[in-house]
Amino acid sequence: MRHRAGWVRWVVGAVAVYVMGLVGVAPVTMGASSGLKGKFEELKEPSTHTPGKVKLTEFADFYCPHCHMFEQSALPILEKEFGNKVEVTMVGFPVIAGQLPTAFEMYEQAKVMGKGNEMKRVLFRTIHQDKTHLLDRVIREMLIKEVGLDVAAFEAGLASGKPVRALEEGKKWGERVKVQSTPTVLVDGHIKLEADALNPENLKIVIHSILAADGKR
C-alpha cells in the first residue's frame, strides 16, 4: 500500500508537467474497438507488435522528476511481472526549459554503442540523485567509463552529429503522436498511455490483455 500511495502522489504531480509553456494532459479513452482492456488511447499508427512480446516506447525528459520516478517505480514492477515479454525503449523528448541537450545526446550515443539502458540509468541518477551537472568534461568521462564504454570513441560519436539527428527524429515522432506530457508511453507503436493511465496497475492490465489476445490467435 505504501508503494501505491506514492504512485498516487506521482499521478497528481504528473498532470502539472509543462510542455512548451502549456500544461498538457489529454483525455484518456477506453480502447474498446481493439478489444483490449484498460485505459488508453488507440492511435492511427501502425502496430509494431510481435506475438509474445510487448514493446513499450517511453517518451521522457531526463530532467523531468516524474520521468525519473516512472523509471524508479513503474518499470521495475513491469519487469518483475512480465520479464522478457516486455521490451522498453526510451525516446528523448525534452520539455524542461533551460536545459542543454547533452544528456539526450549522451543517451543516443550510448544506444548506438549498445549501452543505452545503462546510460539511461546513470543519467537519471546523476541528474536527480547526485545533482551533478553534465557540462563538466571530467564528470562526463566518469559516466562514460562507468557504463563500460571507450571515452575517445564515445566523444567521437558525439562530435559526428548523429546523436543530435537521432534526438530530433525522436522529437518529431513525439510531436506526431501528440505527446503532451512526460512520461508518455506508446505500447506496440499505436496504444498511447499518459497521465493517470500510466499507473502500474493499468499498464499491467493493458499488457496482460495484449498477451492474452496473442494466445487466442
> Is it true that the peptide bond before 27 is cis, omega within 30 degrees of 0?
no
pLDDT value for 133: 84
- According to DSSP, the residues that pair with 186 across neighbouring strands are 57, 192
What per-residue confidence (pLDDT) applies to 214?
Answer: 87
Q: Tell me whether strands 184-187 and 191-194 are parallel, antiparallel or unpaired.
A: antiparallel
Q: Among 48, 43, 46, which residue's Cα sits nearest to residue 33?
A: 43
For residue 34, what pLDDT is reported? 65
| pLDDT, tens digit (0-9, with 9 covering 90-100), for 186-204 | 999 999 999 999 999 999 9
What tens digit of pLDDT does each residue of 135-170 get?
788 999 999 999 999 999 999 999 999 999 999 999
Mean pLDDT for the stretch of residues 96-113: 97
The model's pLDDT over 46-100, given as tens digits with 9 standing for 90+, comes to 999 999 999 999 999 999 999 999 999 999 999 999 999 999 999 999 999 999 9
What domains can you pick out in the chain, each with its CATH number? 2-216 (3.40.30.10)
Q: Which residues of 6-23 are buried (b: 16+ CB within 10 A; e: fewer)?
A: ebeebeeebeebebeeee
pLDDT of residue 215: 76
The pLDDT score that the predictor gives to residue 198 is 96
Kindly report the backbone phi and psi dihedral angles of residue 191, in degrees, each rounded to the nearest multiple of 5, phi listed first.
Answer: -110, 110
* Residue 29 pLDDT greater than 60, yes or no: no
Q: How far apart are CA 2 and CA 174, in angstroms?
A: 33
Residue 62: predicted pLDDT: 98
Determine the pLDDT at residue 194: 97
pLDDT at 105: 98
